[in-house]
Structures are given as structure tokens and as C-alpha cells.
Amino acid sequence: MRTAGPVIRRRNDEANGALIGYLPVGFPTLDESVEAAVALVENGVDVLELGLPYSDPVMDGPVIQAATQQALANGFRLTHGFEAVRRITERTDAPVLIMTYWNPVVQYGVDRFADDLAAAGGAGLITPDLIPDEAGEWIAAAERTGLDRVFLAAPTSSDARIRRAVDASRGFVYAVSTMGITGARTDVDQAARQLVARLSDAGAPASCVGLGISTAAQVAEVLEYADGAIVGSALVNALATGGVPAAGALAAELARGTRRE
Amino acid sequence: MALRAQTGPYFGDFGGRFVPESLIAALDELGEAYDLAKLDPGFGAELAELGRSYTGRPSIITEVPRFAAHAGGARVILKREDLNHTGSHKINNVLGQALLTKRIGKTRVIAETGAGQHGVATATAAALFGLDCVIYMGEVDTERQALNVARMRLLGAEVVAVKAGSRTLKDAINEAMRDWVTNVATTNYIFGTVAGPHPFPEMVRDFQKIIGEEARQQVLDLTGALPTAVAACVGGGSNAIGIFHAFLDDTDVALYGFEAGGEGVDTERHAATITRGRPGVLHGARSYLLQDDDGQTIESHSISAGLDYPGVGPEHSWLSAIGRATYRPVTDAAAMNALRLLTRTEGIIPAIESAHALAGTLELGRELGPDATILVNLSGRGDKDMDTAATYFELYDQENPK
């Protein structure tokens, strides 16, 4: 099974760390979202995070909201998520994680979802509105199937909750860089540096920082202390405005931030 | 265990905290502050005094025989939450949460609102306590409840019209949660109903349960017995849980929640969450939910903005699952007819939300017969609904539409 941990470790050995790119499935169309994801990998993205469009995305800012709303209006179905994973993993070597709000997984059936994701070649799940406390069924399903399970840690998380996120996660822990929602920001918070240090103290094998990262300089800055940098809204915006070539070009630019000087 | 003793985070299989990790510290802080406040007689006394001297508690009960003549002859008694300051039960909860906001040292409050009643109540409490206040309201609702938007602005609140998704209450909640995740250091989220993540369902219920506690004694004093049935409308469910709670362990008292049946539960345009939904996760809790096969939330519909919500509080889902309370749909048309009937027979104009409970009571009274006594929560007054009612009943002069 192609999981995220080994790739993140390898990229920290041979470069400053891993670049993780987010795109929603079905935006602007299913085919174009697959092409865009492949283009990201061909241009230096190491791990893919595919978002499943959802009607009530409380962690997402305006760029991703608009994209996922369009995907839903175009008829997105959960099965398109598995199809996208299959088509991307057939054409690239990158691990592909699904980012999904929790209700769609519950309705599909947690075990069935895990089985179908594993069968499609997926690496695991990032669950922005599922805390480890509520995740018993998913943790068991991930254990059974070998899928990564990526939980979030926030600057406001207590030490006990940091430990809980580290213990529950496989692959990496998603360190929320700043208090807020997705979207490009001028400054990636200093809070991220402290959070990654706390995750490291708690024994996290890998911490990747997300929210607000949109430039190669920010990727480089984050990779000074973190194992991976996650870019979402900036890539979605590039795809929305310039299509697959623009998304690929931005990925190539962002990947410069992973290189050792 | 007594049903009344049930606390969060879980009510049977329902409830929990399905939220981003970024909010957990704030929910913990709020929950801990609430647990301490519950034990502090000073907090209870301050809240009770606000209830007495600001809200106008206890609210009275009114027996309505001319209305009851249309309900199979059963006795019908209204609990008059419509007479509260700001015009609905929402103020009970808001004053409690605003006091908590002061205790945890935050200076800014945010809230979602559908009909605008919770927004008005929150803006009122913010004015009273000197807090900054931002109200999130779906754009569709700002249009159909323009009067309440003006009230909130007059009270000093900023009203944000939410243009995302279906542009109604559920999207206003999403946007308020996004604000809270971003501004949690300074901001408390005053949630308006018994839904959402723990501790909201338990805390909001506790601030609303005074409705039933007062009404139970008032009905005993008036009739010498407990009512046969208690009726309330259910959107998120705060007024219903507020009047139900005191009766949960009175097993002879039947509890009825009336959901918004919209254009009919066999159409796609309704908000009858328990009647037609199935369990799922929305806005931080596991509860009944209107959703498609993929778990995408389905847009609800009701003529009443306050009931136009595709979810419902987890305690209601639990009370339904264990058979303690019964939930039935009431159509837009039945609610509007009940609104007019109460107005014409008793001179009381109810909110369209509360009119759903009245319509349900008309049917219930015919089933229970003349020996029954039905206690109805008249959760709000109809002033805010005059434009909707005037349009519905064609009350505007044709030459001069408004």
C-alpha cells in the first residue's frame, strides 16, 4: 500500500521536506480535476490531498467553498472520489489521501468507505471535523485496512490533546498553522513553529503544516521546522483562473521551496 | 436514571463533538465555565434576576377556550413566551450565555439566526452587557425577515448576510463557525438552539428549561393536575426541549413536537427532520438530518424561517428513538390557518413557528377528546411575520401593495 509516511521521510532525506497539494475532486470537472492532480505530481508535488465536495464545509474559506460548490452543482458523487483516486494512482507514484468532512463517510459506511478507498489505491483520510475522541470506528477501519489516518492539531490544543492527535494519527499529523480556515495568507503564523515543536515533543513521526501557505518562500520557511507543507487554496485558485497549466506551473514554483540551497 | 438527569455530550447515540480541533479548546473552556457557573449560586441568582426584571419572567399562561372549541373540546393552555422581552423564548438562553461570556472574559459575541429572533435576542444582550456583536444570517432570511435585520442593526449589531450554500440558517451556522475558528481568542459563540457540539445542546436546554418548570406548576395551580399532553414546534428544538424537560419523567404526560412539514413531507419542500430524515453528522453533532444518499445536506423548506433547518437537536433525536416524545409534521398551510384561527378567536397573533404547535394541537385535541388538557408553548409573537402573513392572506390593498 502506498502511504504518505515513507514519501515524507524520503523527501526530508533528499530535500527540505515534502510538498502536499490539495485539489477538490470534480472541479471544474471530474476529468480536469484528475488531469490537474497528475500535473501537480509531474511538477513536484509529493503527496496529493483530494477534497470531497461537501454541502457544509466549515473549515473552508471562500476559494475552496466556491470550487466545491461548483463541483456539487455539476453532480459530484462520492464514487467519483474513488474513481479519481484510481485514475491518479494509475498514472503517478504519489500517495493520494482523501480529505473529507465526516458525514459522507458515515453515510457511505465507514468500513465500506475504507475498503473502497484502499481498493482504489488511496493512501488514507484527512478528517477536518473528526477528532480522535469521536473516531473509534474509523481508527479500527484504518487499522484493518492499513490506511493512513490524519488528524488535526491546532495551536490551541492542550498537551493532552496534542498527544492524542499524535497517538491516533498514521502518516502524519496535520498542524493547523493559524487559527482560522483555508485560504492564502501573507504571513504563516509563528504559532505553527511552536505547534510543530510540541508535536515533535509528543513523538509525532511527521508533522505537516497547512492553512495559509501559497508561495515557494512560505513553503521553504515552513519546511525549516516541519516535515511537509500543505498548499490548497492557492492551487485551487490557479486551477480556477488558468486551468491545468496554471496549476502545474504553480506547483513547479512551490516545489522550489522544498529544495536545499 | 431519570430522563431529566441526562447530560451531554451524548444523548443515547446522538450528540458528541464533530468539529475541527481548532474549536475544541473553546468548547472545553465554555463547558468548564458552564459547569462552574451551574454550581455557583451567584450565577443562578443573577440569571434569575435578569429573568424577573428584564425578560419579564415568569411568563403567564393563558387558557384559550374559543380556540379550543376547534380542538375537539380539549382544554388548551398557552405558555406565553411570546410576552418575553424581544418577543420569544430566545432571550432565556441568550442572557445565560451572555453572562457566561463575561465570566470567561471575552468581549465579542457572534450568533447565527434564521427568523432573526435569536439574532435580535443576542444583539439585545450585547447591548445590555456592552459586547461587540456580529450576527450571521442567510441572505434569503435577511430578505424575508427584513424587520428583524433593522432591529439588530438598531441595537448596534453588525448583520452579515451569508451568501454561501442555500443562504439560509444552516449556512449562517457554517459562517459563524468559521468566524469562531478564526477569532476564538476574543469571541464567544452564542448558539441559538439545542443543536451543535457539546456543551451547546445541554447548556441551551438548561437555560430554556425554566419554561417547563414554570408551566408545570402553573398548570397544576390552574387545573389541579398535570396536562394530558405538551405541544411545541421543533426546528432546532430549543423551545420544545424547554417546555418538555420538566415533564420528561412524568410518564403520563405525552410530549409532542411539531416539525415544519412545508408543502408536505411527501414533497421535497419541508423541514421535517425526524419524520423524514435519518441519523447523520451536521454542525458538530450526530442527530437526525435531511440528507441525500451521499450525506450531503438537503435544503429544507418552511414558510417559517425559524423552523427552516435540516437538522434537529440530539436530545430530540434521542427522545424520539426511545419513544418518550412523538414528532409529527405540520404543513405551511395548516400552520397559517392556525395562526389566523388563534388571532381571530383569542386576539393573540403567534409567530409562524409557534403556529405549527397550534395546528398540531388542533389535531391532537380531536384525537385526545374533551377530557384532555393540552399545554402549548407559544414560543414567539407574530409581529415579525406580518409581511409573510399579509402576503399569504392577501391583506395588502391591491392598489398599494405595501
Q: Give per-residue pLDDT as tens, A1-59.
A: 899 999 999 999 999 999 999 999 999 999 999 999 999 999 999 999 999 999 999 99
B80 & B94 share domain: no
The grid coordinates listed for B199 are 456543551
Report the C-alpha gap between B277 and B271 in whole angstroms: 9
In terms of DSSP bridges, do strands A47-51 and A96-99 run parallel, antiparallel, or are they unpaired? Answer: parallel
Whether A49 sits among the annotated catalytic residues: the reply is yes
Of the residues B200, B226, B253, the one at which a domain ends: B200
pLDDT score of A260: 85
- Do B225 and B304 lie in a common domain? yes
pLDDT digits (tens, 9 = 90+) for B235-276: 999 999 999 999 999 999 999 999 999 999 999 999 999 999
Query: Does residue B379 lie in a domain region?
Result: yes
B60 touches chain A (CB under 8 A): no
- Structural domain harbouring B98: 3-53+90-200
- Residues of chain B with Cβ-Cβ distance to A105 below 8 Å are 295
The grid coordinates listed for B383 are 409581529
Give the CATH number for residue A115: 3.20.20.70
Structural domain ending residue among the three candidates B151, B175, B200? B200
In a domain, B233, yes or no: yes
User: What gap in Å lies between CA B325 and CA B24, rounded to an integer?
Assistant: 31
A-chain CB neighbours of B281 within 8 Å are 102-103, 106, 129
A259 CA: distance to closest CA in chain B (Å): 31
B176 and B232 fall within a common domain: no
Burial class (CB in 10 A: 0-12, 13-18, 19+), B57: buried
ipTM of the complex: 0.96
Could you list the active site residues of B? Answer: 90, 112, 379
Q: Which of B164, B179, B200 is the last residue of a domain?
A: B200
Question: Is residue B61 located within the same domain as residue B44?
Answer: no
Domain membership flag for residue B402: no
* B400 assigned to some structural domain: no
pLDDT score, position B247: 98
> For residue B179, what is the domain's CATH number?
3.40.50.1100
**Beta-bridge mates of residue A157:** none
Whether B30 and chain A come into contact, CB under 8 Å, resolves to: no
Query: Is B164 an 8 Å CB contact of chain A?
Result: yes
Segment B362-369 shows an average pLDDT of 98
| Residue B249 shares a structural domain with residue B129 | no
Please report the pLDDT score of residue A126 as a whole number.
98
Find residues 275-334 of chain B whose CB sits inside 8 Å of chain A: 280-284, 289, 291, 293-297
Q: Tell me how many domains chain A contains.
A: 1
Q: Indicate if B135 and B223 belong to the same structural domain.
A: no
Decide if A181 and B281 are in contact by the 8 Å CB cutoff: no
Question: CA torsion sign, B193 to B196 to B200 to B201?
Answer: positive
Residue A46 bears catalytic tag: no
SS3 at position B262: strand
The answer to whether residue B367 is domain-embedded is yes
Same domain, B367 and B265: yes
Interface size between A and B, measured as CB pairs under 8 A: 109
Note whether B177 contacts A: Cβ–Cβ < 8 A.
Answer: yes
Asked if A65 is an interface residue toward chain B (Cβ–Cβ < 8 A), one would say yes
The verdict on a CB contact (< 8 Å) between B294 and A59 is no
Domain count, chain B: 2
Is residue A128's pLDDT more than 60?
yes
* CA separation for the pair A63, B383 (Å, rounded): 39
Tell me, yes or no, whether B42 lies in a domain. Answer: yes
**Statement: residue A231 has pLDDT above 90:** yes
CA B383, CA B373: separation in Å to the nearest integer? 28
Q: Which of A60, A116, A148, A189 is catalytic?
A: A60
Q: For residue B399, what pLDDT is reported? A: 65
Structural domain including A71 reads 4-257
Specify burial of residue A225 (Cβ count, 10 A radius: 0-12, 13-18, 19+). Answer: middle
pTM (2 d.p.): 0.96
The pLDDT value given to residue B165: 84
Residue B399 lies in a domain: no
Whether residue B196 sits in one domain with residue B74: no
Predicted confidence at residue A182, as pLDDT, reads: 76
Chain B environment of A78 (Cβ under 8 Å): 294-295
Q: Mind telling me how many Å the CA of B181 is from chain A's nearest CA?
A: 5
Res. A181: pLDDT tops 80: no
